A and B are shown apart, each in its own frame.
Chain A
Amino acid sequence: MVEPKIIGFLCNWCSYRGADTAGMARMKYPPNVKIIRVPCSGRISPELVLRSFREGADGVMVLGCHIGDCHYGTGNHRTAKRMPVLKKLLEYNGIEPERLCVDWVSAAEGEKFATLIREFTETIKALPPFVEVIK
Chain B
Amino acid sequence: MTDRLPALQEVIGKLLPDVDGVLGLKVGPAGIVSPHLFVKDLADELASLAIWPKEPLPGTLKIIQKAHPDAKLAIVCRGCEERGIVEMAKHYQIDLANVTLIGLQCTQEEAEFCRCAKPFTVHAQTTIGTPIAGVPDTLTDEFAALSREEKLAFWKEEFLHCIKCYGCRNICPQCFCNVCTLEDETWVETGRLPMPQPAMYHLIRSMHMTAKCVACRECEETCPAGIPMAIQFRLIARDVKEMFNYETGAEIDQPPPQLLVLEEGEYERTGLPH
Contact, CB under 8 Å: A85 / B197: no
- The docked-state distance in angstroms from the alpha carbon of A102 to that of B206 is 20
Contacts of A83 in B (CB 8 A): 272
Residue of A nearest to B274 (CB): A67
Interface residues on chain A, number (Cβ under 8 Å): 31
Main secondary structure of the interface of A (DSSP, over half): helix
Contact, CB under 8 Å: A54 / B200: yes
Partner of A92, one of B151, B156, B260, B270: B151
Query: CB of A74 within 8 A of chain B?
Result: yes
- The docked-state distance in angstroms from the alpha carbon of A18 to that of B70 is 55
Contacts of A96 in B (CB 8 A): 148
Contact, CB under 8 Å: A93 / B235: no
Give the number of residue pairs across the A-B interface with Cβ within 8 Å: 101
Contact, CB under 8 Å: A50 / B198: yes
- The docked-state distance in angstroms from the alpha carbon of A104 to that of B274 is 7
Query: CB of A46 within 8 A of chain B?
Result: yes
Contacts of A20 in B (CB 8 A): none
Q: A77-B261, A85-B239, A92-B151 are in contact. Are A66 and B271 (CB under 8 A)?
A: no
Partner of B198, one of A53, A66, A74, A85: A53
Contacts of A50 in B (CB 8 A): 187, 198, 200, 203-204, 207
Contact, CB under 8 Å: A81 / B151: no
Footprint of A on B, CB under 8 Å? 148-156, 181, 186-187, 196-198, 200, 203-204, 206-207, 210, 231-232, 235-236, 239-240, 243-244, 257-258, 260-262, 267, 270-274
Footprint of B on A, CB under 8 Å? 46-47, 50-51, 53-54, 66-67, 74, 77, 80-86, 88-89, 91-96, 102-104, 133-135
